[in-house]
Amino acid sequence: MNFILSDGTSRNALLPFTYTRPVADIRIGILTIKEKWDKWLNTNCSYSTEGYLVKKFPIHIEVENIVINASFLPNADLVARIKELKLGEAISSKGETIAYVTDSPKEEYIASEYQIKNIDDELFTIKNTWDIFAKNGAAIQADFDLLTKGRKSQPIPESNTAINSKHIFLEEGAVVECSILNATTGPIYLGKHVEIMEGSIVRGALALCDNAILKMGTKIYGPCTFGPFCKVGGEVNNVVLFAYSNKGHEGFLGNSVLGEWCNIGADTNTSNLKNNYAPVRLWSYETEGFAKTGLQFCGLMMGDHSKCGINTMFNTGTVIGVSANVFGSGFPRNFIPSYSWGGAAGFTEYKTNKAFETATAMMGRRKVVFDVTEQEILEEVFAQTAKWRNY
């Protein structure tokens, strides 16, 4: 059977991260959502997403196709139920479609045309941006169990202090010396060719994905995920970095999510708790207002290709769009639109030619090409987000 991962109904609630990727390409735990489904289904799923993303994230169609709502994460029971589906059948949970079988996946899904089977079980879903960090601990544990089952870790070098070592797993080429690894509160997964430099203190859960680096003296309070090629330093608590993003110096980052190709300047600090201890409200692109998260701790949401300068200070519950450049003294506003240039003193529009020069330079340092496909996606994001730039 051919499997397609659909954005479902949660795409707008997951902006700004889904401006530049399908829902299925969000990373939570060790793996992206697509990578999870690929492993559980033993296949290579394709995407059903926004038209301007299709060139980078294409759809593959067969005679019969199972379309899966990518905001649902897989487990053994759900996978078994999905594999049992036949043409014209669907499964749903609490009124939301999880998966259906069709011969026309590009046509609109009409529930009345399907025989629907309801699931009453509590399922793992990603419905809002803050779910990515709030549910990351459970996602790391699930991925850790999936990836390490029946396998043996590379040995932990003797220069380290390892606590609860049976829940620490080192892939081939992982390097860690003279550090403290405490897996009492969650597993610690070190991907291929990662490095934890001397003096780092790690409290699980931690997913350090392939080729990522923790710099000297880093302090990690789990659960944290640092995607491939990320560089992290300073003090970090309950944070997800998708890939190729850097927070390489001192400063605190907590209860936050950063997309790809982001950079946090030295000594930048993010507030994750309001002074009055009230629940945090966060900008929602879906409602075009500030949404109640129900969380007491919530820091920074930063879209792809955004950056901030040294000593930047972010208020509790700040949302930054795609390709923004933030700098200067004082606290900037807690919703910064895509392609904004400036800080607390005010913003102007960050022109695409300048933003693309920065993207080309940053990606080039990692030997990744900023190609026409990437440029076209970012140009579309620039156009879609123009209405927010009414400084």
Q: How confident is the model at residue 391 (pLDDT cuts 50, 70, 90)?
A: confident
Longest dimension (CA), the chain: 62
- The whole-angstrom separation of Cα 19 and Cα 319 is 14
253-266 pLDDT, tens digit each: 999 999 999 999 99
**Could you tell me how many helices (H) and strands (E) the chain has, helices first?**
6, 33
Backbone angles phi, psi at 2, to 5 degrees: -95, 130
Q: How confident is the model at residue 222 (pLDDT cuts 50, 70, 90)?
A: confident
pLDDT, average across residues 184-204: 98
Give whichever of 101-115, 275-289, 374-388 has the largest mean pLDDT.
374-388
User: Is residue 278 packed enough to be buried (19+ CB in 10 Å), middle (13-18) or exposed (0-12)?
Assistant: exposed
- Concatenate the DSSP letters of all residues of 321-377 into one string: -SS-EE-SSSPPPSEE-TTEEEETTEEEE--HHHHHHHHHHHHHHTT----HHHHHH
Residues of the chain with CATH 2.160.10.10: 131-388
Spell out the CATH class of 131-388. Answer: mainly beta
Q: Please tell me the pTM assigned to this model.
A: 0.96
300-336 pLDDT, tens digit each: 999 999 999 999 999 999 999 999 999 999 999 999 9
